[in-house]
Amino acid sequence: MTQMRPTLGDFNSVVCFKAVITGVEDTLGPDGAAVVFTRAGRVRGHNLARELGVSNTNPEPSKIAEMLDGAIGKNGTCLTGVKSVTKEGDTYIVDCFDTVCSAGEPQGSDRKCTFTLGAVQGALEEITGNTYLGEHTESVLRGGQYDRFVFSPF
């Protein structure tokens, strides 16, 4: 992939990204912003899976975790680390760490990882060929070991 910014590189700070999030929340309210960021994340996830050439490949959950972590983890865009992907019936459970959305938030914060959830959801949908309803069920900000996203068939 060609670098988009030749001098500064393709990454910006968590501080700037979080300023976008809070600015949109101030403008649209938390619920409106959640819709916007989740949708934006889904679009990013779909495009990412297409770029990786894994559309409709439906690999084992451990392979999905490996692909996602490589693309959006430490060696990718640094959106989040992907610890694991498991499947229970038709439901996928994705455990993430160091999510950009939770960065710098105080313990007990009600912050949801809307963009990150959307990005994982979009990639999962593109990889499996299915549509899911995503939910952020556990948070490192509220006692969870990971930010857990649960994707149920829609």
pLDDT digits 0-9 by tens, 59-84: 999 999 999 999 999 999 999 999 99
Please tell me whether the overall predicted TM-score, pTM, comes out greater than 0.75 for this model: yes
We find that the CATH architecture of domain 14-153 is 2-Layer Sandwich (3.30)
CA dihedral 32, 95, 111, 13 (to 10 degrees): -90
The answer on pLDDT for 1 being more than 80 is no
Distance (Å, whole) CA 154 – CA 151 = 9
Q: Is 9 exposed, middle or buried (0-12, 13-18, 19+ CB in 10 A)?
A: exposed
